[in-house]
Amino acid sequence: MNEILDKIKQKYSAEDVKVQRTGLAFVTVNKDVALDAVTWLRDYEGYSHFVMMSCVDWIEDGKFQLLYLLHNPVTKTDVGVKTLINRDNPAMTSGHHLWKQVWTYQRELKEAFGIDFPGSPRVDENFVVEGWVDIPHMRRDFNTKEYSEETYFPRPGRETHDPATYMREQLYPNQPVTAKRKDNDK
């Protein structure tokens, strides 16, 4: 695996190379060469199995981090190719031509994060959340609590419980609930 990582460093100017554990490594490359690196790993290094595609929202840096995770069934190793794209007006070249299932991941990332993959099949169709009009729901600046309070009405019988008190009430229903125990009151 170290030999392949060295080749990626040289060939694609990988900025960050990290061996997570035996058989699993991650490399970070420039957005412009990310799909070239993925294609090279598939065609020349035996990473023929596309495992998944994922995204991390680095809101503080104004970036999204895309991850392409590939598996080599012969060596039983995995390589993750990471790349950063701008959070404002995010777009990435489509990789749907490399593996058929890539377009599904791209469609999901378009809906969840708002990342465009021009030319990817059905990328603009609803994936899971039909009729969504708010900001993409997996972005870190989407306020889940605010959305649920505005969208859903409070129902009777729905109460919030302090977990420790609630469990004491459930486990010991005949004992009065007292103030929280101190650590040395065991």
What is the rounded distance in angstroms from the CA atom of residue 133 to the CA atom of residue 49?
A: 35
Read off the CATH number of the domain in which 142 is found: 3.30.460.80
pLDDT confidence band for 116 (50 / 70 / 90): very high
- The pLDDT, as a whole number, for residue 126 is 86
Strand partners, 24: 21, 78
Q: Kindly state whether residue 179 falls inside one of the protein's structural domains.
A: no
Q: Kindly state whether residue 176 falls inside one of the protein's structural domains.
A: no
Roughly how many angstroms between the first and final C-alpha of the chain, as a whole number?
Answer: 52
Instruction: Give me the number of domains the chain comprises.
Output: 1
pTM equals 0.81
In this predicted structure, the answer to whether residue 93 has a pLDDT above a threshold of 90 is: yes
Mean pLDDT of 106-125: 93
Contact criterion met (CB below 8 Å) for 82 and 14: no
Contact criterion met (CB below 8 Å) for 69 and 101: no
Instruction: Tell me the per-residue pLDDT of 147-163, one tens digit each, with 9 for 90 and over.
Output: 888 888 777 776 767 78
Instruction: Tell me the per-residue pLDDT of 26-83, one tens digit each, with 9 for 90 and over.
Output: 999 999 999 999 999 999 999 999 999 999 999 999 999 999 999 999 999 999 999 9
Q: Are strands 24-28 and 77-86 parallel, antiparallel or unpaired?
A: parallel
Domain span at residue 62? 2-171
Q: Kindly state whether residue 6 falls inside one of the protein's structural domains.
A: yes
Q: Which two tokens stand for residue 29?
A: 């490359």
What is the rounded distance in angstroms from the CA atom of residue 72 to the CA atom of residue 39?
A: 13
Nearest of 21, 6, 16, 13 to residue 78 by alpha carbon: 21
